[in-house]
Amino acid sequence: MSGEVYRVDWLPGTDLLSGTCHCGARHEAEDPVALWEWMLAHPDHPGPPGLPTRTRTDKDPAP
């Protein structure tokens, strides 16, 4: 087991889901598939404030 924990919470009173990646980055979306795609794209999404972010380069393997 890798020990990575992803968390998805429903925001009561809204149609939004809040996702937290194992790195601590957070994202909100209405579409659960889009939310999971965002989380599983780690490290190609913004991280928590104060941590460097990384974007995919041409040298990186395709997801």
Domain boundaries, the chain: 1-50
pLDDT in tens, 20-49: 888 888 888 899 998 888 888 887 776 555
Of the two residues 12 and 39, the one the predictor is more confident about is 12
Structure tokens at 38: 């965002």
Rounded-to-integer distance, Cα 63 and Cα 51, Å: 22
Owner of token pair 């460097």: 52
Asked if residue 13 has pLDDT above 60, the reply is yes
Of the two residues 49 and 7, the one the predictor is more confident about is 7
Peptide bond into 52 cis (omega under 30): no
Q: How far is CA 38 from the centre of its chain?
A: 4
Average pLDDT, the chain: 75
